[in-house]
Amino acid sequence: MTAREGRLLRLLVLGVVAGGLVLPILAGLWETARAAFGHLPAIGAEGLSLDPWRRLFDLPGFGTSLTLTLWTGFASTALALMLAVSFAAAMYDRAGLRGGARLLAPFLATPHAALAIGLAFLIAPSGWIARLLSPWATGWDLPPDLATVNDPAGLALILGLLVKEVPFFLLVILAALSQLPVRRHLEAGRALGYGRGVVWIKVIGPQLYPLIRLPVYVVLSFALSVVDMAIVLGPSNPPVLAVAVTRWFLAADTTLILPASAAALLQSAVVAGGIGLWWAAERTLARIGRIWIRRGGRGVSAEPGLVAAGAAVTGLMALGVGALMALAVWSVAWRWSYPRALPESWSLAAWGRSAAGWGMAVESTVMIGVATTALALILAVAWLEGEDRGHLPRATWAEALVYLPLLVPQIAFLYGLHVVFLKVGIGGGIGAVIWAHALFVFPYVMIALSDPWRALDPAYIRAAAALGAGPVRRLFAVKLPILLRPLMTAAAIGFAVSVAQYLPTLFMGAGRVATLTTEAVTLSSGSDRRVTGVYAVLQAALPFLAYLAALGVPAFLHRHRAGLSGGAA
């Protein structure tokens, strides 16, 4: 009866998404593409030419940059996925996995840049680990000349990406597992004589993967185009492609904008090609896997692998915790030189001196984060509600649309998007920043919200309808309250994503909008780890508080409602 309304509603949301998210990206890509083919009148370049591409391919280190990008992107994504699935398998059914998942929040909340800075300090030859062991155990009176960060093979960058992506995968996997009859299938598989690890590989894994495929692509795309983390942890001469592109965009020689635009387009091609390659690998693996399953072998024990993965993930988490602690300690240090395990002198000066600065940055960060999250949440609820009312099936093409901002590398369209915004006359303000953040926040909110929303037992809605509740009352009195926890979680994730945005804030805010992240990244180009520590601590603290609220508010409101407090078992 409200099917037409529902269709209209979703059409409306689709229109907003297309006009607000997709069009700007396409327009941004268009502007970048024009510059890539030699058309940028602002610097006197007119007409069509392939010169920018020729220049790009001639730039020193171009080939190495490309290879490095592919290697770090694929290795980190594949390894993170394997580790996260193995860890979930090893820990599943063990008390505390769910509680443990909540501890992941700070890792998700900490922006890449801050985590990278902390991690770099932790593992550097003169870093915290070396300081704790030197000189008494290692004999290093001076730090050794070892490439533990910025190594030419990009291993430190891969490690950094793992620390960040494994928790993300774990969270996504846990959400997906709650939709699968894992326990039952484990029992069934083991009763047929298969070990736990093998059942995970042969039975649970293949069912799990389709549910997390899109997040996997998002991570792959991110790893192929990461900038901030690669600057801090990756090799510098040459760096990965995305860092090289950013450098060229910002080089003093403005004519480099043309090959930089070409490289930005190429970066998109790398991501598209990377995803294509991954997809092909998926199909091949699935084919091989099916043949393997048909053979019915039980002999392989995956237990040692699970134990190793458990240890690796624990190690990664320890590194993450160490990185965050290093930043916190730095923020209250005064003088701290090698090989002292702790600062020689302490001081709150870093907090006090920059109080005015971070106060304002916190204010604008919270403002932008709240506005963006609210916007994204309203859109997501409208989308899902439209689907419900219109009795529409889950539209994969529309979902792919939502993911577009996460799959297209930011650097490929942000510059062009900035030009477009300026043309329309909305550049350089907080509004433009909120809009740009929404591009990236909305997809994450959709990811977080759509599965619990669709998993909601329709019996509740039918019961409410049978009691005479109209669609509006059903939404506000039944659906939203029952879904309070996933709603809050989605909001917290959205907020964290907004807090972490660097390039969109920089480009759209014309540098005038200072958030914790832009300040932290700028300061990290300076030498003062103590001030960087202050900003990084705040940067991690804000989203962490949001996560705490996401857990605490529903827990408090539903404290007498056991059926709502545990989430899906």
Partner 1 sequence: MPLFPSLSLAVAPGSVTTIVGPSGIGKSTLMEFIGGHLPRSFRAAGTVILDGRDVTRLPAEARRIGVLFQDAALFPHLSVGDNLAFGLAAHVRGRAARAVAVANALDQAGLPGFAARDPATLSGGQRARVALMRTLLAEPCALLLDEPFAKLDPALREELRRFVFDHVRDRDIPVLMVTHDATDAEAAGGPVVSL
Partner 2 sequence: MRLPLLAVLALGLAAPALAGGWDDTVAAARGQTVYWNAWGGDERTNDFIAWASGELQAQYGVTISHVKLSDTAEAVTRVIAEKAAGKAEGGSVDLIWINGANFLSMKEQGLLHGPFLQDLPNARYLDLSEGSAAVVDFTIPTEGYESPWRLAKFVLSHDSARVAEPPRSMAALLDWAKANPGRFTHPAVSNFMGSTFLKQALIELAPDASVLQAEATDEAFSAATEPLWAWYDALRPNLWREGKTFPENESVLQQMLNDGEVDFAMAFDPAAAAAAVERGLLPETVRSYAPEAGSIGNISFVAIPFNAAHKEGAMVVANFLLDPAVQARAQDISVLGSYSVLDPAKLDDAAKAAFDALPASPALPSNEALGPTLGEPHPSWMTRLAEDWARRYTE
Q: Binding residues for partner 2, per CB under 8 A?
A: 31, 40-44, 59-61, 64, 124-126, 142-143, 145, 147, 150-152, 231, 235-238, 247, 249-254, 257, 333-335, 337-339, 345, 347, 353-354, 356-357, 415, 418-420, 422-423, 427-428, 506, 510-512, 514, 518-519, 521-523, 525-531
Q: Of the ranges 262-270, 290-298, 331-339, 371-379, which one interacts with partner 1 (CB under 8 A)?
A: 290-298
The C-alpha atoms of residue 491 and residue 495 are separated, in whole angstroms, by 6
If one asks whether residue 323 binds partner 1 (CB under 8 A), the answer comes out as no
The C-alpha atoms of residue 258 and residue 224 are separated, in whole angstroms, by 21
Please state the closest distance from residue 239 (CB atom) to partner 2, in A. 9
Please state the closest distance from residue 297 (CB atom) to partner 1, in A. 5
Please state the closest distance from residue 418 (CB atom) to partner 2, in A. 5
DSSP for 455-511 reads HS-HHHHHHHHHTT--HHHIIIIIIHHHTHHHHHHHHHHHHHHHHH--HHHHHHTTT
- Whether residue 445 contacts residue 373, with contact meaning beta carbons closer than 8 Å, is answered with yes
Please report, as residue ranges, which positions from 207 to 236 form the binding site for partner 1 (by CB under 8 A). 207
Taking residues 292 to 311 in sequence order and writing x for each that binds partner 1 by CB under 8 A, - otherwise, the string is -xxxxxxx------------
Contacts 24+ apart (CB under 8 A), 53-57: 53/259, 53/262, 55/258, 55/259, 55/262, 56/259, 56/262, 56/263, 56/266
Bridge partner list, 335: 345
Give the nearer residue to partner 2 in terms of CB position, either 32 or 489: 32
Q: Which DSSP state fits 50?
A: S
Please report, as residue ranges, which positions from 346 to 375 form the binding site for partner 1 (by CB under 8 A). none
**Burial (Cβ within 10 Å: 0-12, 13-18, ≥19) of residue 192:** exposed
If one asks whether residue 560 binds partner 1 (CB under 8 A), the answer comes out as no
Give the nearer residue to partner 2 in terms of CB position, either 168 or 415: 415
If one asks whether residue 566 binds partner 1 (CB under 8 A), the answer comes out as no
Please report, as residue ranges, which positions from 181 to 210 form the binding site for partner 1 (by CB under 8 A). 181, 183-196, 202-203, 206-207
Please state the closest distance from residue 114 (CB atom) to partner 2, in A. 15
Work out what residue 196 binds among partner 2, partner 1, none; the CB cut-off runs from 5 to 8 Å by kind.
partner 1
If one asks whether residue 340 binds partner 1 (CB under 8 A), the answer comes out as no
Give the nearer residue to partner 1 in terms of CB position, either 183 or 423: 183
Which of 95, 356, 459, 466: binder of partner 1 (CB under 8 A)? 95
Give the nearer residue to partner 1 in terms of CB position, either 185 or 247: 185
Q: Of the ranges 68-76, 93-101, 350-358, 534-542, which one interacts with partner 1 (CB under 8 A)?
A: 93-101
Work out what residue 254 binds among partner 1, partner 2, none; the CB cut-off runs from 5 to 8 Å by kind.
partner 2
If one asks whether residue 283 binds partner 1 (CB under 8 A), the answer comes out as no
- Its sign, for the CA torsion 326, 329, 334, 337, is negative
Contacts 24+ apart (CB under 8 A), 46-51: 51/258
The C-alpha atoms of residue 285 and residue 369 are separated, in whole angstroms, by 40
Work out what residue 436 binds among partner 1, partner 2, none; the CB cut-off runs from 5 to 8 Å by kind.
none
Q: Which DSSP state fits 392?
A: P
Work out what residue 297 binds among partner 1, partner 2, none; the CB cut-off runs from 5 to 8 Å by kind.
partner 1
- What tokens were used for 410? 């930011």
Judged by DSSP in three states, 99 sits in helix
The C-alpha atoms of residue 475 and residue 502 are separated, in whole angstroms, by 35
Give the nearer residue to partner 2 in terms of CB position, either 213 or 512: 512
Q: Which residue matches tokens 């003093």?
A: 252
Give the nearer residue to partner 2 in terms of CB position, either 36 or 204: 36
Q: Which DSSP state fits 45?
A: B
Work out what residue 98 binds among partner 2, partner 1, none; the CB cut-off runs from 5 to 8 Å by kind.
none
Q: What amino acid occupies position 351? A: W
Give the nearer residue to partner 2 in terms of CB position, either 186 or 531: 531
If one asks whether residue 479 binds partner 1 (CB under 8 A), the answer comes out as no
How open is the CA angle 231-236-237, to the nearest 5 degrees?
155
If one asks whether residue 125 binds partner 1 (CB under 8 A), the answer comes out as no
The C-alpha atoms of residue 277 and residue 75 are separated, in whole angstroms, by 13
- Whether residue 82 contacts residue 255, with contact meaning beta carbons closer than 8 Å, is answered with no
Give the nearer residue to partner 1 in terms of CB position, either 46 or 187: 187
Give the nearer residue to partner 2 in terms of CB position, either 153 or 477: 153
The C-alpha atoms of residue 141 and residue 245 are separated, in whole angstroms, by 39
If one asks whether residue 563 binds partner 1 (CB under 8 A), the answer comes out as no
If one asks whether residue 462 binds partner 1 (CB under 8 A), the answer comes out as no
End-to-end CA distance of the chain: 34
3-state helix, strand, coil split of the chain in percent (to 5) is 75, 0, 25
If one asks whether residue 98 binds partner 1 (CB under 8 A), the answer comes out as no
If one asks whether residue 97 binds partner 1 (CB under 8 A), the answer comes out as no
Taking residues 504 to 543 in sequence order and writing x for each that binds partner 1 by CB under 8 A, - otherwise, the string is ----------------------------------------
Number of residues engaging partner 1 in binding (CB under 8 A): 30
- Whether residue 76 contacts residue 162, with contact meaning beta carbons closer than 8 Å, is answered with yes
Give the nearer residue to partner 1 in terms of CB position, either 144 or 566: 566
Please state the closest distance from residue 395 (CB atom) to partner 1, in A. 21
Please state the closest distance from residue 294 (CB atom) to partner 1, in A. 4
- Cis amide linkage into residue 135, ω under 30° from 0: yes
Give the nearer residue to partner 1 in terms of CB position, either 193 or 468: 193
Give the nearer residue to partner 1 in terms of CB position, either 42 or 291: 291
State the number of CA atoms in the 13 A half-sphere of 453 facing the CB: 23
- Whether residue 369 contacts residue 3, with contact meaning beta carbons closer than 8 Å, is answered with no
Tell me the Cα Rg of the chain: 25
How far is residue 95 CA from its own chain's centroid?
27
Binding residues for partner 1, per CB under 8 A?
93-95, 181, 183-196, 202-203, 206-207, 290, 293-299
